[in-house]
Amino acid sequence: MSDSLVTNAEDQQMTGQPHDLRRKYDVARHAVADLATEASQAAKDRLTDISGHASEWMRDKSGQLKEKTDLARSAAMTYVRRNPYKSMAMAAAAGLLIGFILHRRRD
C-alpha cells in the first residue's frame, strides 16, 4: 500500500510539471516576443530620428550650395560685363585648347 501512495504522489508531481513547464514556456515566449516588439519599435524610432536629422542637414547644405553658386554666377557675370573683350579672348582660348585636346585623343 505504501507503494501505491508513493506512486500516486509521484504521479501528481509529474502531472503538475508539464503544465508548469508549459506555463513557464508560454510566459518566456511572450516576454521574448514583447522584447522583440519593443526593440523593433525602438529601432524604427531611432531610424526616423536619424532620417529627420539627415534631411535637415541636406536642406541646410543644399541652401548653402545654392548661395555659393549664386555668388559665383554673379561674380562671373560682373567680371564679363566689366571685361567683355578679355572674357571673349579667354573663352576662345579655352575653346581652342579643348578642341586641340579632343583632336589629339582621336588620333
How many structural domains are present in the chain?
1
Q: Considering just the CA atoms, what is the radius of gyration of the chain in Å?
A: 40
Segment (H or E) for 32: helix 2-82
Write the CA distances from 77 to 15, 40, 83, integer angstroms. Answer: 92, 55, 10
Position with higher pLDDT, 106 vs 2:
106
pTM over the 0.85 mark: no
* Residue-wise pLDDT tens digits, 33-62: 999 999 999 999 999 999 999 999 999 999
Structural domain containing residue 80? 2-106
Tell me what percent of the residues of the chain surpass a pLDDT of 90. Answer: 73
The three cell numbers of residue 1 are 500500500
Query: How far is Cα 28 from Cα 33, in angstroms, rounded to an integer?
Result: 9
